Amino acid sequence: MTDARIDAAIDARAAKTRLIEIVTARSFSSGAETRLVSGRSTSFYFDMKPSMLHPESAHLIAQLTLMELQATHVEFVGGLEIGAVPLATAVAVLSQGRGRPIGAFFVRKQAKEHGARKLVEGLAPGETLDGRHVVILEDVTTTGGSSMRAIDAVKAEGAVIESVITVVDRLEGAAEAFKAAGIPFRALLTAADFC
């Protein structure tokens, strides 16, 4: 391993450790029974908005995501509203500062009934995802259903799906679902980091 790779591994480990601390303090709760978007019930819950919108943890999430994207040809990041919006924005901003700009978008849960009536938002007039390499971002992944909705929407626009990256994988079937669909999947953190 080269010195640069060793330094990157140490930086990634430190960033992950600090992110776990922040998510634990701001976004993780356990004990009370909660129903998830997937319909499942759980005794532990992640409300990632307080962490995604916190300056330090937003930076750490973007930093760790960009580390995951180093060996890819990704041109855009995004995913289903609302969870992917702050993630994609943070990654786009940090990517610009690092000299490798990556665009951002988000997918509406349903198209607006007025205006442009678009499902995929954030692209300039005349800009398209057709043939563009895209990574889908998600805040918390359970079964992968939200990411699959975003994938379906951007595939309909002609995008090439590179992978799905989640901040927290609850370890409840998403990895297997993405594997079955032939989509690479990576998690910055997992439920095992908290439970």
Q: What is the pLDDT of residues 132-178, one digit of tens each?
A: 999 999 999 999 999 999 999 999 999 999 999 999 999 999 999 99
Contacts 24+ apart (CB under 8 A), 115-124: 119/153, 119/156, 120/78, 120/153, 120/154, 120/157, 122/78, 122/88
Position 107 confidence tier, pLDDT thresholds 50, 70, 90: very high
| Distance separating alpha carbons of residues 61 and 63, to the nearest angstrom | 5
- The answer to whether the beta carbons of residues 184 and 14 sit under 8 Å apart is no
| Distance separating alpha carbons of residues 168 and 24, to the nearest angstrom | 12
Q: Is the pLDDT score of 63 beyond 80?
A: yes
- Using one digit for the tens of pLDDT, what is the confidence trace for 113-140? 655 668 899 999 999 999 999 999 999 9
The pLDDT assigned to 18 comes to: 96
CA angle 90, 67, 23 (to 5 degrees): 55
Position 88 confidence tier, pLDDT thresholds 50, 70, 90: very high
The pLDDT assigned to 178 comes to: 97
Domain borders along the chain are: 3-193
Beta strands 76-80; 133-141: pairing state: parallel
Residues in the chain: 195
What CATH number is given for 3-193 in this structure? 3.40.50.2020
